[in-house]
Structure 1
Amino acid sequence: MLNNPQFYVEQLNKQIERVKEQYKSFRFYDLGSYALNRLTPRTSFELVENIAYGLKSRQRLDLYRAKKTLAHRPLIVFVHGGAWQHGDKKDYVFIGESLARAGYDVAVINYHLAPQSIFPVYIDDIAQALNYLNQHQQRLNISTQHIILMGHSSGAFNVMSVVYHPQQQAIHCRDQIKAIVGFAGPYHFDYKGDPLAQDAFDQSVPYQEVMPFYFVETNSIKHYLFLAENDQIVKKSNTFDMHQKLLQAGNHSHVAVIAKTGHVTIIATLSSLFSQYFKTKRTLLNLLKETHPA
């Protein structure tokens, strides 16, 4: 057995499959988002569900219109995580409520998932959603003059890649993107053989031709990178590498480390139910004040 390489290959493959199954069971909504959303108050927003921004079934978004709006009505476009393989907008009512309570309109979008779809389909979906929101802003009673892109985990990669991409995305409201907010985002890693990401990318394409880290260009966008202190899924180097790359390009970048949070729980701390116990939401709102007039 010790001299049987095939045995070790089989054991490695089994271990990879176990990791993949563990991560699937690690989905946020399996850890309480259903209960969290049930307890979330519904008084701070008007909800329009399942708006079609494209013809395919996953090209849908939910719009949370704030009853109390800030000046110029900033629009947050939130993209969920899930290793590019799972997740759904319906699991993030608590995000829409919490940010609408603070005066922001919020669009929570669905997009195509792996393994049926691979990069850059997710990015194309987000660009299409942005163009739809921009084109139909009057009918939707929103404004796209002040857009904040926000994502968690793979969603953070997606929103960063919409702007920093090997092929420039045709986004008609690009100049209206004022900020990018990433929670626990993987911006600079090798996905080849990675059990959590290998199905989301073409394994024949080097990661240097995909990662947003390699396509940073100078602009006036403000970047806020939130890092979970106890993240065991995404290496912290992703955040710090991206931070340094942005600064080298002359761009704005700010890293916020959230104590006592992990890869999944960091996003839960934005909930109105938990925000008083963590600094996540107040840090976010204070930073976003930099992006729009009082």
Structure 2
Amino acid sequence: MIKFLFIVVLLVLLFGGGARMIVAGGAKSLNMADKLLGQGDGARLLLADQPYGRGPRQSLDIWVPDSLNEGDRLPVVVFFYGGGWDSGERGSYGFVGRALARQGFVVVIPDYRLVPKAHWPDFIEDSAAATAWTHEHIAKLGGDPGRIALMGHSAGAYNAAMLALDPQWLRAAKSDPSIIRGVVGLAGPYDFLPLEKGGRGDRAMGKVRPAERTQPIHFARGDAPPLWLATGDEDEVVRPRNSRNLAAAIERAGGSAALRIYPGMGHTGIVMALAAPFRNRGPVLEEATDFLRGVTARRVASATKAAQ
């Protein structure tokens, strides 16, 4: 009883007022709260600080189920965190790695270059390089290179969508765009022109011409991997119209895009709902992993052959 009360007080102190912010410290606190609530079992950090490039922010972590055995080939999720392209670190998102690994996935969480040292398309190129590294090496780490999906929150959902919709990025990383089996986007910015002057988007990509090159919706196509786009109806950071517009554009092009709008949920709440203390806010984890299992249910022969 004392432990329970301590945890309740801790969560109120850390996440009072509906947990409206999830800056790096908040995400680390989610990791701590997850462990304190006894939800740390079932997953483990298999590999930390693995370089996928030569830069200081070109490293990744890999989470796996505790039950992973030698010779297993589990479906893979590459998760890109958000932060407006100017903040974030993979070490703050262990709660995502644990949550998805407990669901039976090998989870790759890369860092990527950030503003002000980097600008568009540096963070897309890094995301592509991390995905290409995953495809090449994941078979040795319990994952199936023929069953790779992408997932991201906010700016990370943007990165994932750009990789899925514009094939040039994975090709430039010497990989095959067909390795992506599907994308889960949580509160992603996909259609946000004109850029707010001085805002995060402007600082990250405001000098790109034509500006449409920066917009995932500009690359909507019928043969894109299936998308599952989720947003909260109270998101005032990345408006729900971003997910609505991209889903509609994909469907008009003849592709597959599911739209899920969670009532009463805001921008950070949708990713926080992946963590054990906040899953009662909405079935984000359950529904996202249902989609991920569906799109990774079968192996891709060409992708598997390329990885051998």
TM-score with structure 2 length normalisation?
Answer: 0.81
Corresponding residue for residue 187 of structure 1: 190
- Structure 1 unaligned regions, length at least 5: 1-24
Q: Are residues 1:259 and 2:248 paired?
A: no
Equivalent position amino acid for 2:294 in 1: E
- Deviation string, structure 1 residues 119-174 (Cα, Å, up to 9, x no partner): 11111101111111122223333222111100100111111011223845315242
After TM superposition, give the deviation of residue 51 of structure 1 in Å.
Answer: 0.7
Mapping 1:77-226, distance limit 5 Å: 77-165=78-166, 167-170=168-171, 172-190=175-193, 191=195, 193-219=197-223, 221-226=225-230
Opposite residue 142 of structure 1, the aligned amino acid is: G
Deviation of 1:217 after TM superposition, in Å, equals 2.5
Tell whether 2:51 aligns with 1:52: yes
Q: Deviations over 1:173-208 (max 9, x none)?
A: 422211111000100112251512211014252321
* 1:43 aligned to which of 29, 36, 41: 41
Distance 2:284 2:62 in 1: 23
Residue aligned with 1:144, SS: strand
**Equivalent pair of 1:166/1:210 in contact (CA under 8 Å):** no
Alignment partner of 1:34 is 2:28? yes
| 1:274 CA displacement | 2.0
Answer yes or no: is the 8 Å Cα contact 2:230–2:262 preserved in 1: yes
4+ residue runs of structure 1 moved beyond 4 angstroms? none
1:22 maps to none
Q: Deviations over 1:30-58 (max 9, x none)?
A: 4x322220132332223111110011110
Q: Is the 8 A contact 1:45 1:66 kept in 2?
A: yes
2:247 equivalent among 243, 247, 250: 243
Which secondary structure does the structure 2 equivalent of 1:74 belong to? strand
Where does residue 11 of structure 2 map in the other structure?
none
- Residue identity matched to 2:44: E
1:14 equivalent in structure 2: none
Q: Distance in 2 between matches of 1:137 and 1:288?
A: 17
Name whichever of 162-171 and 175-184 sits farther off.
Answer: 162-171
Structure 1: distance between partners of 2:58 and 2:153: 18
Following superposition, the deviation at residue 252 of structure 1 comes to 0.5
Q: TM-score, normalised by structure 1?
A: 0.84
Following the alignment from structure 1 to structure 2, what is the Cα–Cα distance between the partners of residues 234 and 138?
Answer: 36
8 A Cα contact 1:222 1:291, kept in partner: yes
Code of the residue aligned with 1:106 in structure 2: it is V
Query: AA paired with 1:235?
Result: R
Higher mean displacement: 91-100 or 275-284: 275-284
What residue identity is the alignment partner of 2:111? N
Distance between the aligned counterparts of 2:236 and 2:286, measured in 1? Answer: 24
CA RMSD of aligned residues (A): 2.3
Distance in structure 2 (CA, Å) of the matches to 1:211 and 1:59: 24
Contact 2:164 2:183 in 1 (8 A): no
The answer on whether the counterparts of 2:76 and 2:149 sit within 8 Å (CA) in structure 1 is yes
The answer to whether the 8 Å contact 2:136/2:145 transfers is no
The unaligned stretches of length 5 or more in structure 2 are: 1-19, 299-308
Cα separation, 2, equivalents of 1:165 and 1:175: 11
> Closer, same or farther in 2 for the Cα pair 1:204/1:35, shift >3 Å?
closer
> 2: distance between equivalents of 1:122 and 1:210?
12
282-291 or 258-267: which moved more?
Answer: 282-291
Q: Equivalent residue for 2:8?
A: none
* Cα distance, 1:168–1:133 mapped onto 2, change above 3 Å: closer
Residue aligning to 1:67: 66
Q: Distance in 1 between matches of 2:87 and 2:219?
A: 26
8 Å Cα contact 1:28-1:264 kept in structure 2: no
